[in-house]
Amino acid sequence: GNSVTQMEGPVTLSEEAFLTINCTYTATGYPSLFWYVQYPGEGLQLLLKATKADDKGSNKGFEATYRKETTSFHLEKGSVQVSDSAVYFCALSSNYGGATNKLIFGTGTLLAVQP
Amino acid sequence: NAGVTQTPKFQVLKTGQSMTLQCAQDMNHEYMSWYRQDPGMGLRLIHYSVGAGITDQGEVPNGYNVSRSTTEDFPLRLLSAAPSQTSVYFCASSSLGRPNSPLHFGNGTRLTVT
């Protein structure tokens, strides 16, 4: 079945460091891919998405490219800030049953940015 | 600008007790869903609904019931709580009108079953 695998955390970086959080997926058909972010004590928020191969999603300095050949959607940011400290979830849409809103999530990666 | 509202924020139950987690959204979203979040397991879909009067099971439905009598509300019922249901529960909604509409999440309910 469909699944998402993302790197385990925590990832600890110094401010202004480069960030990569790896995400790979297994899916039939042509899923859409998402990154969600969860700040402490809050629900998840959509960070960015890509709906077809080679699409690049970007938001707030974060970006991820939908790579069908490697079934990957790695999250990157050139210079992280303390305010980026959060849990990041990779997810894919599951089109079974015709409801594309059903998302399958990875286990989440905690990012801690130190000043 | 309420979005998705979940109540209560925290709840402690004894094994065998029942309770209802409330979820309401004011965005006129057709799709609503419940997830549970457990350490090392990410979010897992419990139940979902694509409109009033329509519900279906997700990945981990056992021990939970749902109903959707209005577009706005989607309560989750635990009929006989078990320690395995200790978790953080999130309600999420989205529009079905646009493909890949983002899910809007509530702030969660932290449930402990002793």
Residue B21 in this model has a pLDDT that exceeds 80: yes
Least confident of A13-17, A79-83, A103-107, B20-24: A103-107
Query: Tell me, what's the pLDDT at B101?
Result: 80
CA-based max dimension of chain B: 42
Q: How confident is the model at residue B18 (pLDDT cuts 50, 70, 90)?
A: very high
A47 three-state secondary structure: strand
Is the backbone peptide bond immediately before A31 cis, with ω within 30 degrees of 0? no
Chain A hits for B105, CB-CB cut-off 8 Å, are 43-45
Q: Is B107's CB within 8 Å of A43's CB?
A: yes
Residue from A101, A102, A103, A109 to probe the interface with B (highest B Cβ count within 10 Å): A101
Chain A hits for B45, CB-CB cut-off 8 Å, are 102-104
Average of per-residue pLDDT across B1-25: 95
Is the backbone peptide bond immediately before A10 cis, with ω within 30 degrees of 0? yes
Query: Tell me, what's the pLDDT at A102?
Result: 81
Query: Tell me, what's the pLDDT at A95?
Result: 61
Query: Tell me, what's the pLDDT at B55?
Result: 96
Residue B73 in this model has a pLDDT that exceeds 60: yes
Residue of B nearest to A2 (CA): B59
Chain B hits for A32, CB-CB cut-off 8 Å, are 99-100
Rounded distance between C-alpha atoms, residue A13 and residue A111, angstroms: 8
Which residue numbers of A have CB closer than 8 Å to B's CBs?
4, 32, 34, 36, 41-46, 49, 51, 89, 93, 97, 99-108
Average of per-residue pLDDT across A91-111: 78
Residue A107 in this model has a pLDDT that exceeds 90: yes
Query: Tell me, what's the pLDDT at A97?
Result: 47
Query: Tell me, what's the pLDDT at A28?
Result: 83
In sequence order, the β-bridge partners of residue A91 are A34, A105
Residue B49 in this model has a pLDDT that exceeds 80: yes
Rounded distance between C-alpha atoms, residue A1 and residue A102, angstroms: 14
Residue of B nearest to A46 (CA): B102
Our measurement of the distance from residue B85's CA atom to the centroid of its chain's CA atoms, rounded to an integer in Å, reads 13
B77-114 per-position pLDDT tens digit: 999 999 999 999 999 999 887 777 889 999 999 999 99
Residue A47 in this model has a pLDDT that exceeds 60: yes
Chain B hits for A105, CB-CB cut-off 8 Å, are 35, 42-44
Which residue numbers of B have CB closer than 8 Å to A's CBs?
4, 31, 33, 35, 40-45, 48, 50, 56, 58, 90, 92, 94, 96, 99-103, 105-108
- Residues whose CB is less than 8 angstroms from the CB of residue B1 and which lie 6 or more positions away in sequence, other chains included: none
